[in-house]
Structure 1
Amino acid sequence: MQAVSHDRVQGWIAYTSNRGGSFDIWLYRPQDGLNFQLTQGLGEEFSVPYWSPDSRRIAFIGIGNVVHLLDTVTLAVARIDQIEPYTLLDWSPDSRSLAYVKNERIVVYDTFSHRSYSIPEPGASDVQWFPSGTELLFAAPDSTGITQLFRIRADSTDRRQITQNTDGPLHDVRLSPDGTFALYTFPGASISIISTVDLATGAIYTLEGGPLAKNYFPAWSPDSRSIAYSATAYKEPNYYSLIQIDSRTGQNQRTLAASDCFATPVGWSPNGMKIAYLSGCTGVESASQLWIVDIRQQMPVNVVSGGRITALQWSPRVRLKR
């Protein structure tokens, strides 16, 4: 393994693959094609890498359902908790604390002091930090059992309901980087529609999405103005997916590329000019290729092939401290 130095424009793509024999976290550097295995026997097929805002550390749920913190500079690994697979992990803006849900509680874990506290919140999911670092967004059932979005101060005070949803479950809740909008999918997996909500006004916008209303893995652009996602389509005899982007209020949908997978995670480059996605399913469920498409040129490039690849996340823009 080797330490990581950062290109602030192109960054690194962390991805989960078993190309080394077992599922682990790998890194790919777009600027020169450097590609290497970052962990050894710590990952699982369900592991999703989550970059800290300073692009130094990666959090993921790995073997034994344990949350691992990996320092990409020192290569030190810390094991901090045991939680359900596929739980969203979200770093605080100062890259110090993690927020996640465990056992009907919101947990805030300080990765420096290794102390944590929790906020009771039955049914909560998808907890995330607002850019202020003092508030959290999360989804939870209201008094009637319908999922709503809420915000709460990190000290557990000033809990407020944001939405007045009547459509049933909300999934894949993601706060925009600037903290002004949130997106979510509804009502489930077979039909998955993307909507956004303006957190200041409560106005809701629904994206057109793909031809089958199966829209997955929505991801905010770094400037909070656009959303990329995977839209499942069908052409006899196979399903495939379209890599699409749209504005946060809809009305500006574009198709950038196609993947031969039923659905694929997507990730934005730090400068918001490129999108990474998976392909190479060829009739099986798991991808075997990592691709990058430039949203201006729309010429997809296959950058990694081999093994199974299950998740990816592009590192965020690193802001230099003055």
Structure 2
Amino acid sequence: MDAVLRCGFSFETNVQQDSNNPYLTKFTETLAIDNRKLLFVKVASVLPTLCGFVLRIVLAFNALLFKLNKTFSFVHFPELPILWLMARAGEHVLHARRDVNTNGRVDLLHLMLDAATDQIVSDEKVQRDENIEASLTPRLTNVNKLTYDEIIGNIFLFLVAGTETTSTTLAFCTYVLATHPDVQQKLQDEIDANVGDSAQLSTYEIVDNLEYLNMFIKEVNRMFPIAPLVTNRLCIQNTTIGQYTIKEGTIVQADVYSIHYDADLWGPVDPYKFHPERHAVKRHPLAYLPFGAGPRNCV
């Protein structure tokens, strides 16, 4: 969680040093919730047309609780964990990154705010697209930008989808380094050569020059894919491939492990051997699927 929020959004949570951190607590509570028990989910299953109405009521009520908690610090009104996280993400966007032209570090949030120029973010409110469009010259009326709510949604998505996956990947990286001291030494040599005494490894320009580190992470994800089940698609029409016929409506699940360990795709070095240098050679575009492929691949 620390890595995702710090690298992507310059958001300091310090979860590693504080196991009672409220962000960690709310994140854990969010994942523990059985969505089927939520009111608007139950309503949607019975009366789908009322789902939006009930959801708006829930959001409005939670927004009221958020304001009460901010105003009266001596009392706590319980908020839904998922909405607690999204409210704090929105607060972070409003107060920490209102100036998208800042000279600070450029991260994912900065880029999203830079793309949201069809909205003016202020302490009082967020002026929506129509307010901006009214003042735009005719030649700029066809611009497609992110909305404020979309930025908040993306922050939450990256938090939920990136925390456990990043943690698992780092665990596999640690395992590989412990069992392959020669690989660890090559990584150390490359980092020392590029970083020197500055100890500023966090800049994108430096990381982009670490070719062996890039190959190392790719090889970790090849041998230990953390999201193999995301690579599936719905067959939209009857299709015949060789001797197999796939009927419309069938879910097709890619066998990621077999692809990642295929000697024809990843040779000549044994695919069961950890060998980062294999990624220096251009491979088939669908030979590497740790996060799926195409426009709907994993974030």
- Do the structures match in fold with TM over 0.5? no
Q: Which has the higher strand share?
A: 1
TM-score if structure 1 supplies the norm length?
A: 0.21
Q: Which has the higher helix share?
A: 2
TM-score if structure 2 supplies the norm length?
A: 0.22
Q: If you compute each CA radius of gyration, which structure gives the higher value, 1 or 2?
A: 2
